[in-house]
Structure 1
Amino acid sequence: LFRYSKQSLNVRGAFLHVLSDAVGSMGAICAGAVMVTTGWYRADALASIFIGTFILVSSWRLLRESLGVLLEAAPSGIDVAEVESAVRAVDGVEGVHDLHIWTVTSGFIALTCHAEVTGSRDVQQVLAELCQMLHQRYGIRHVT
């Protein structure tokens, strides 16, 4: 799971669940050992606070990224203004409006926009150039 946890939110969630279970079990075992050997019963509360903090922090990161996908927010690593400038720079593109970029799922970024193409250029050729450029520069895999 660890190897693929950076590529998919679903796998990352499963990995964090397994890791949280392991940390919880280790915390309970360690706290139990401390209580049995020393009689210090606050070890249980201390372990619980540590485990709860670990789960809260790791879940918050996953939740924040998941909400970005659900709300169709622009991916954090992509500057929309820069993408718009790059689209305008393609030969044959006169104007760009209604530009939207969002993450469909982990690693799958989509873009939609209205690009005004000069009459002298073939629209399909300009679209192919845009698709190739956006995929190579920004990792955008779906363009309309």
Structure 2
Amino acid sequence: MLSSLGVIIAALIIYYTHITWIDSLVAVLIGLWVLPRTWVLLKEAINILLEGVPEGVDIKNIEITMFSVDGILEVHDLHIWAITNDKISLTAHLVTPTGNEENIEAEVQKILAEQFSITHTMLQIEKNRASNCINILRYFFIQHYQY
């Protein structure tokens, strides 16, 4: 809109005064006016294409919020990226004591949607790996060191 107005004014000046370099001046001014806006758009597009974390998203805060849900022992493999300017995607692994708490997944999804506007989520619930290690050690000692 503003660039069209500049072209019309330049055309009128050229028509009435025959100063033709006004056309070049207006073109340069329009280019300088558009350049900063183009730079911002280019940065956003590159961030989306490279699946970068969207500006303004605090990963640590999201991780702490997810970890604060009762029953979650650990959050790992947390990935957040922008699909579009206003749609954010999140994937994460949530470690729980038994590995089959469906209500935890629903609660985390609700919190992510309400507090962070993240509605495109993929959450994987896992059983506590520490208990698996303890069971393996217990089995090893029972098999090899029975008294």
Matching residue of 2:54: 75
Output the CA distance in 2 between the equivalents of 1:25 and 1:76. 32
1:124 alignment counterpart = 102
2:29 aligned with 1:50: yes
The superposition leaves residues 70-104 of structure 1 with CA deviations (integer Å, 9 ceiling, x where unpaired) of 11111112100111111111111101111111111
Equivalence map 1:1-144=2 (5 Å): 22-119=1-98, 122-144=100-122
Which AA in structure 2 matches 1:75? P
- Unaligned stretches of 5+ residues in structure 2: 123-147
Q: How many angstroms does 1:24 deviate by?
A: 3.9
Query: How far, CA to CA, are the matches of 2:73 and 2:39 in structure 1?
Result: 43
Mapped partners of 2:20, 2:60: distance in 1? 57
Displacement after TM superposition at 1:122 (Å) = 5.0
TM-score of the pair, normalised by structure 1: 0.76
Percent of aligned positions that are identical: 34
User: Secondary structure of the residue that 1:136 maps to in structure 2?
Assistant: helix
Counterpart amino acid of 2:10? A
TM-score (ref. length: structure 2): 0.75
| Segments ≥4 residues shifted beyond 6 Å | none
Q: What is the CA distance between 1:36 and its match in structure 2? A: 2.4
Q: Which amino acid counterpart does residue 27 of structure 1 have in structure 2? A: G
Quote the Cα distance in structure 2 between the aligned partners of 1:106 and 1:75.
8
Greater gyration radius = 2
CA–CA distance in 2 between the matches of 1:132 and 1:56? 40
Residue by residue, what CA displacement relative to the aligned partner does 1:15-56 show, whole Å, maximum 9, x if unpaired?
A: xxxxxxx44433222112112223333311210111112232
Aligned residues: 122
